[in-house]
Amino acid sequence: MDYIKIRFGEDLERLSASFERAIQDIFRTHPASPVFAPLERRWVPQMDIYETPDEIILLAELAGVEKDQLEVEINTKAVRVHGQRPCLPRVEKSTYRLAEIQYGRFERVLFLPAPIDTETVKASFSNGLLRIRMTKIPRNVIHNIPVSEG
């Protein structure tokens, strides 16, 4: 089944991304100190998605995450990246003046701008950067449907 994409303007995508970030920031915990952090914290890694005529490429910034702590799930419409960044041991007899680095479990589900072929997806992980290359399914394929009587 093909879907019809309805656009209400070019700025809607930028507005949608800004709105999504604002909602995530509202519900994301920002403790003043690691001492006040909940035991089961979640963080949201930063990601980029860009598109070429043939591919969709996703980049995820995952510094400090080990490859075996990273999972990627994909279907023709969305990508789910989840895993865990272990907390570094605290330095004894130290006082934190700034604690912005987030640790613990993370998850991102991103909906793709076009359907992709899940059989040709390639993922690589190097220097804390996850790169997922996805081949688009051509949209201009015409299917002839036979019409029967009755």
Residue pLDDT, tens place only, 49-88 = 999 999 999 999 999 999 999 999 999 999 999 999 998 8
Domain ranges of the chain: 11-135
Strand order in the sheet with 104-111: 42-43, 104-111, 78-85, 70-74
* Strand pairing class (42-43; 104-111): parallel
Instruction: Please return the burial class of 44, using the count of CB atoms within 10 Å of its CB with bins 0-12, 13-18 and 19+.
Output: middle
Q: Which CATH class is domain 11-135?
A: mainly beta
pLDDT band at residue 101 using 50, 70 and 90 as cut-offs: confident
